[in-house]
Amino acid sequence: MGEVIVLVMERKLVECAKILRKAEKIAVLTGAGISTESGIPDFRSPNGLWQKREAREATTRSCFFYDVDTFYHYFAQLFLGWTGIKPNPAHIALAALEHELGKLVFIVTQNIDGLHQMAGSTNVAELHGNLRTATCPKCQKQYDMIMVREALAAKQQPLCECGRVVKPDVVLFEDPLDPYTWRQAQVWTMKADVVLCVGTSLTVSPANTLVYNRRNDSTLVILNTEPTRYDSQADFVFREKAGEVLSRMLSICRQQE
Ligand code: APR
């Protein structure tokens, strides 16, 4: 990166870090891009998960209810192979803003990988659900995802005691969001002094509408390696990798102690 560009970026980082330092409440909207540095592919980048059209078409509510074997074939391929994943410097920096700098950090994530909680973030709203559990659509009994993994490994359908196939607690295309989680996300972004969007193309609603759902006097920061349709509304836009930018921002915040 040229000398001048580095200087410009550094100045932008310092300015943004100053605002984070002063902020009391920070809402962070994250997407798959914050987890790519943990080895998990995102969805819409050139090597993203949705490049396989059939996989994208199978990850829907209708596919679960009308062709459950195809659903689980692709679901297992897409999401159940993430063994030994760990938080990366981006997740860790967000947790440090909370635990080291004493900020109120509210994470609204579209991710199901649980890496924010693993990094130590305590306020996490999982808009698109999680990979920890699965629920019977008929009797609502909840199971640990281990049961699903074991059934699929044995080439069987993951069945509830009542005989129905259980559904992962992930928000599939055509699924409604959990109303409580959605309300929480709206309240967090509305109350925030800074809204930070990290590693999300901001193409999926209603998550992307949270960018509008903020105070007029709040600061909007977009950290994404590709342009998003909301960049023109942002006070700061960073095109570099989340791990690099957030770690750098955290260390500048520490120096401003
Ligand atoms: N640092 C910063 N940005 C990154 C990085 C990185 N290391 N790696 C990838 N990105 C950016 C990509 O440029 C891309 O624009 O992250 C963005 C991820 O966008 P998507 O793949 O569209 O993922 P996301 O925004 O989370 O998708 C939202 O869509 O398919 C549904 O339910 C799924 O939760 C998902 C939702």
Alpha carbon distance 24, 29 (integer Å): 17
Residue 1's pLDDT is what? 57
CA distance 110 to 146: 22
As a whole number, mean pLDDT of residues 230-244 equals 97
- Taking the centre of ligand 1 as the mean of its atom positions, its distance from the CA of residue 42, in whole angstroms, is 5
Inter-residue contact 126 to 181 (CB < 8 Å): yes
Mean pLDDT computed over 128-132: 97
pLDDT per residue over 178-215, tens digit each?
Answer: 999 999 999 999 999 999 999 999 999 999 999 999 99
Is 128 noted as a catalytic residue in this protein?
A: yes
The rounded Å distance from CA 74 to ligand 1 centre is: 19
Domain residue ranges in the chain: 1-40+86-128+177-257, 41-81+131-170
Report whether residue 38 contacts ligand 1, using a CB cutoff of 6 Å. no
- Is 12 touching ligand 1 by the criterion CB < 6 Å? no
Q: Is the CB of 226 under 6 A from ligand 1?
A: yes
* 9: confidence class by pLDDT, cuts 50, 70, 90: confident
Contacts (Cβ under 8 Å, ≥6 apart) of 115: 34, 35, 38, 85, 86, 87, 88, 91
Whether the CB-CB separation of 143 and 134 falls below 8 Å is answered with: yes
CATH class of the domain comprising 41-81+131-170: alpha beta
Look at residue 140 and tell me whether its pLDDT is greater than 90. Answer: yes
Q: What is the pLDDT of residues 34-60, one digit of tens each?
A: 999 999 999 999 989 999 999 999 999
Select from 3.40.50.1220, 3.30.70.380, 3.40.50.620, 3.30.1330.10 the CATH code of 1-40+86-128+177-257.
3.40.50.1220
pTM above 0.75, yes or no: yes
- Closest C-alpha residue for ligand 1 atom 6: 241
